[in-house]
Amino acid sequence: MAAKAILALVLSTLCNLADAAENTAPASANSRISAKLLREKFDAGEYWSVGSDGLNYLKTDPGNHELRMQVADSLAWTGRYAEAIIQYQMLESTRLAVRAMIGLANVYRWSGRPDIASPLYRQALKSQPGNPDAIDGLNRVNRELRPGTIYTIGKNSDSLPVIQHSNILAQHWRGDNLALKYELAISTSRYTLSPVNTRQTEVDFSVEHADMPMAPKLALSVQQGPITKAFGSLRLKLDNEPDLNVTIGHVNWGNMAYQPQALLEGLTATQLGADGNVITRIGTISAVYNAYQISDGNQIQDAILHFSPSWHPLGPDFRYFVGLSGHFALRNVPTYWSPQTGYLSADIGFSNEWSLPSGEYSIYAQRGFGIGGEALNSYNAGIAAKRYIDRDWAAMLSAGLLKNQRIDAYHSKYLSLGAERLW
């Protein structure tokens, strides 16, 4: 199937899933729902139901501000940010105005807009100077908005055996318009696959404007060694709810394939990709698709489709999923992984994230079961941590491993250490 046809299919499927979820969600008859029942559901953690049924109930009792706050919180906590924003804004002139303002700021922070969240937290603190939620939220967005320098060192290795040592120095900052975000990075990498040994230096620059239509993100890079080449990509947001994005670009396939021979051959690729997620009553459906037309004439297609249930018995930050992942090639090329027979795996896994005043922490694990092509059993796990030492400094660590029992058994691992200085 052609890349454009698959891209259209992915986007169409996601949109249809969103429509179906909305149209098949159980409707709540106002005559059968009560404010008392909604509050009981809220206390029991049934946030999706409170958000959906509560909107219907508020049409008959618009002055119930306490319930509106619970509905707004429920919508925010289940990822329905656009609807939550409307409900918080309707509480601006009520006695719950400060709570609503903090909830509104949280939604903007969670949706990647710290520039909008910051003045809301500040306004809340003017009314309640000691409010702990506003203080914590402001501290968090300040970390995102301040310019910073990050230095990381890393090592990747696999069973081929390819070994990569890398050093990255990056600077990120905002423009006068805080919705405008820049990043400049210089990286050096040394790849070894006996008898091949090659070095690469790359300069990367990206700019993202969250206030422009489709929130464009432009990324440019220049590779020096073993062959000097330039690359670029553009990412665009097509919609917020459901979240839909597309990416087009000319990319460094040698780097992406993690193969020194591909770097020496100067392999590049044209990328066409789409990703998105749809939030429904029963859970979140996520999909990623990328097609690569490689400069050697080969074609690679990668696809992931996951479902994560909305029921979280181990807490809201513990998420588990089931799904499919695939990797397909037009033909097999010895230089990089390109299974002509394909690779299709059924996956099950979990992730847990902790966002604390002291830092950001996460773990993930995944088990795969081969159902097509050369796929057999696979295991994938990793951790990441960012610990704030003080107001200006943070230490970072990430590590992971992969074991893949495909036709040729394969395993890899990585470790990265770094530090960030905020200015």
pLDDT in tens, 153-189: 999 999 989 999 999 999 999 999 999 999 999 999 9
Q: How far apart are CA 68 and CA 196, in angstroms?
A: 64
Yes or no: domain 148-422 corresponds to CATH 2.30.29: no
Report helix, strand or coil for 134.
Answer: helix
Contact call for residues 272 and 311 (beta carbons, < 8 A): no
Amino acid 22 reads: E
User: What was the pLDDT predicted at 268?
Assistant: 95
For residue 22, is pLDDT > 70?
Answer: no
pLDDT in tens, 196-232: 888 999 999 999 999 999 999 999 999 987 888 999 9
User: What was the pLDDT predicted at 20?
Assistant: 45
Q: Which residue has the tokens 């099950």?
A: 348
Mean of pLDDT values over 286-291: 97
Q: What is the CATH number of domain 24-145?
A: 1.25.40.10
Mean of pLDDT values over 271-292: 95
Domains in the chain: boundaries:
24-145, 148-422
Of 20-24, 109-113, 167-171, 381-385, which gets the smallest average pLDDT?
Answer: 20-24
What lies within 8 Å, CB to CB, of 187 at 6+ separation is: 166, 167, 168, 169, 201, 202, 204
Of 91-105, 233-247, 309-323, 378-392, which gets the smallest average pLDDT?
Answer: 309-323
**Nearest partner of 42 among 32, 53, 31, judged by Cα:** 53
pLDDT in tens, 370-406: 999 999 999 999 999 999 999 999 999 999 999 998 7
Same fold yes or no, 24-145 and 148-422:
no
Of 4-13, 116-125, 273-282, 407-416, which gets the smallest average pLDDT?
Answer: 4-13
Of 12-21, 29-38, 221-230, 352-361, which gets the smallest average pLDDT?
Answer: 12-21
For residue 24, is pLDDT > 90?
Answer: no
Q: Angle at which helices 47-58 and 65-77 pack, to 10 degrees?
A: 140
**Nearest partner of 341 among 357, 330, 355, 352, judged by Cα:** 330
Q: Tell me the pLDDT band of 241, cut-offs 50, 70 and 90.
A: confident
In the 3-class helix/strand/coil scheme, how is 40-53 assigned residue by residue? HHHHCCCHHHHHHH
Query: Can you name the residues that pair with 16 across neighbouring β-strands?
Result: none
